[in-house]
């Protein structure tokens, strides 16, 4: 299970304290935002998790996330998100061979952005605490397993302000997972208070 005070949360807590204590933060307005995004299909390779499924095709579900952030002025901020990377499956049509993996995670990241009229370009870097619950079908039967870890993540994106509070957001994120990585392109909406 993903711990409530895992390493990413510790790093983010320290980052928030440093940003809040900086001279720029004293005069900078704070703004809070929330949102949600849907992304493309999971492109995980089971071998990244030490699961061998041979040469069979692996299919992944669409992904989604919900996020909340705190902007400190117009440039800096911090953001937390809960990610559902969907289910990755393989080999349902093959006897005594199968694989299913549900992958979720919580990320925290420092965000820096540049506003250009109604557009805002941003980049982020942080950590993802992830958990994978899976089942491997073998000759001996179904074998459940759980994996979890904390790995770095980052991304770039743009949001387009539609009204004072609402914007459309598109981004590309890269997550380091086990021995591989996961790239997710997503689009969503954001509400700024």
The per-residue pLDDT for 172 is: 96
The per-residue pLDDT for 5 is: 45
Can you say how many angstroms the Cα of residue 86 is from the centroid of all Cα atoms in its chain? 12
Contact between residue 83 and residue 116 where contact means Cβ atoms under 8 Å apart: no
Structure tokens, 178: 């086990």
Per-residue pLDDT tens digits for 51-80: 665 555 556 778 999 999 999 888 999 999
What is the architecture of the domain spanning 7-192? Beta Barrel (2.40)
Q: How far apart are CA 80 and CA 76, in angstroms?
A: 14
DSSP state of 73: T
Contact between residue 174 and residue 124 where contact means Cβ atoms under 8 Å apart: no
First CA to last CA across the chain, in angstroms?
32
Name the strand (E) or helix (H) holding 105. strand 98-116
pLDDT tier for residue 10 given thresholds of 50, 70 and 90 = low
The per-residue pLDDT for 98 is: 72
Question: Percent of the chain having pLDDT more than 70?
Answer: 74
Nearest one of 157, 163, 148 to 79, comparing CA atoms: 157
pLDDT tier for residue 187 given thresholds of 50, 70 and 90 = very high
Q: How far apart are CA 85 and CA 104, in angstroms?
A: 6
Residue 29 confidence (pLDDT) above 60? yes
Nearest one of 167, 163, 171, 172 to 189, comparing CA atoms: 167
Question: Percent of the chain having pLDDT more than 90?
Answer: 47
The per-residue pLDDT for 2 is: 45
The per-residue pLDDT for 53 is: 55
Residue 30 confidence (pLDDT) above 90? no
The per-residue pLDDT for 100 is: 80
Domain boundaries, the chain: 7-192
Q: Over the chain, what is the mean pLDDT?
A: 81
Contact between residue 78 and residue 12 where contact means Cβ atoms under 8 Å apart: yes
Per-residue pLDDT tens digits for 96-128: 667 788 889 999 999 999 999 999 999 999 999
Q: How far apart are CA 114 and CA 112, in angstroms?
A: 7
Residue 26 confidence (pLDDT) above 80? no
């Amino acid at each position: 299970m993903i711990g409530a005070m895992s390493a990413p949360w510790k790093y983010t807590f320290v980052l928030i304290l440093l940003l809040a204590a900086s001279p720029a933060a004293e005069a900078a307005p704070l703004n809070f935002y929330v949102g949600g995004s849907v992304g493309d299909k999971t492109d995980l390779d089971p071998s990244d998790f030490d699961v061998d499924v041979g040469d069979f095709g692996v299919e992944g579900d669409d992904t989604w996330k919900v996020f909340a952030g705190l902007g400190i002025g117009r440039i800096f901020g911090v953001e937390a998100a809960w990610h559902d990377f969907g289910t990755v499956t393989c080999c349902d049509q093959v006897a005594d061979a199968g694989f299913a993996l549900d992958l979720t995670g919580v990320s925290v990241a420092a965000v820096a952005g540049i506003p250009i009229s109604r557009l805002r370009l941003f980049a982020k870097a942080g950590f993802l605490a992830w958990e994978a619950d899976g089942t491997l079908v073998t000759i001996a039967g179904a074998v459940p397993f759980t994996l979890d870890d904390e790995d770095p993540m980052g991304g770039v994106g743009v949001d387009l302000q539609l009204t004072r509070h609402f914007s459309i957001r598109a981004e590309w994120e890269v997550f380091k997972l086990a021995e591989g990585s996961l790239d997710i392109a997503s689009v969503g909406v954001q509400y700024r208070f």
